[in-house]
Amino acid sequence: MVGDARYHHGDLRAALLREAEAELAEKGVEAFSLRGVAKRAGVSHAAPAHHFRDTAGLLTALAAEGFGRFLAAQEARMARETAPRGRFIASGLGYIDFAVAHPALFRLMFASARLDWTDPALCAAGGRVFALLGANVEALRGAAPSEDEMARLDLVSAWAMVHGLSELMISGRPTALMTLNGLAREEALREIVGRALPPQ
C-alpha cells in the first residue's frame, strides 16, 4: 500500500513522532516543519493534522514523550542503587545519559519557545521529572523542597549543575575533564555530580 493507507489506527501518530524526532535531529527546531515530517513518514502533507493541530502541537507531543524517556533514563540508573546518595548521583547520570544521546530532543524540551506549556500531557510529563528530583533531595535533606528553603536551594543548585554539565557535554566542551587525574569518564562524572549534593 502507498501513503496514508499503510497505517492502521494509532500507527500513524507513532510514526509521525518517530519521524519528527529524526527531522528535529537533522534540521533543528527552527527549520522543523510538518511537511518535512510527513515526507519522511511517506504520507500526505495533510496527514499530521489528523493527530496534531499544527507544528507546535507535534513538537509539544514529542517533548512530552521525550520527558517520559528522560525520566526512564534516570530511573534505570537509580534502579542499581539503594542508598539515597547513590540514587541522587545515579539520577544525575541518567539526566546526562539522555542529554548526550538525544541532544536535539533535550534542547527542545528545555529551551524551545515552540512548545505549548498549557498542554496537560506536557505539563504532567515535565512535572514527573521535577518531582523525581524533589524526592531525591528530600531523601537526602530530610525535608521537602516545597516546604523547606534549604532543600529548595539544594534542588535548584543540583538541577543547575547537572543541566549545565549536560549542555557542556553536548557542546563537546569538558572532554579534558573526563580523564582528570586519571579518572575514567564514568568515574569522573560520578565525582562531578556528587559535588551537587547537600552537605551530610
State the pLDDT confidence band at 25, using cuts at 50, 70 and 90: very high
The sign of the CA dihedral 68, 73, 79, 82 is: negative
The average pLDDT across 25-52 equals 90
**Rounded to the nearest 10 degrees, what angle do helices 84-101 and 55-78 cross at?**
140
Task: Kindly report each contact of residues 187-194 with a partner whose C-beta sits within 8 Å and lies 24 or more positions away, as own/partner.
Answer: 189/93, 189/96, 189/165, 190/89, 190/93, 192/165, 193/89, 193/92, 193/93, 193/96, 193/161, 193/162, 193/165, 194/85, 194/89
Separation between Cα atoms, residue 47 and residue 101, nearest integer Å: 29
DSSP secondary structure letter of residue 199: P
Q: Across all residues in the chain, what is the average pLDDT?
A: 89
pLDDT value for 2: 42
pLDDT digits (tens, 9 = 90+) for 123-135: 999 999 999 999 9
Separation between Cα atoms, residue 125 and residue 63, nearest integer Å: 9
pLDDT digits (tens, 9 = 90+) for 75-133: 999 999 999 999 999 999 999 999 999 999 999 999 999 999 999 999 999 999 999 99
Q: For each of the domains in the chain, give its residue range(s) and CATH number, in order of start.
A: 1-52 (1.10.10), 56-194 (1.10.357.10)
Separation between Cα atoms, residue 105 and residue 99, nearest integer Å: 8
Exposed / middle / buried, residue 123 (Cβ in 10 Å: 0-12, 13-18, 19+)? middle
pLDDT digits (tens, 9 = 90+) for 150-171: 999 999 999 999 999 999 889 8
pTM of the model: 0.89
Which of 135, 130, 69, 128 lies closest to 102 in space, CA to CA? 69
- Percent of the chain scoring above 70 in pLDDT: 88
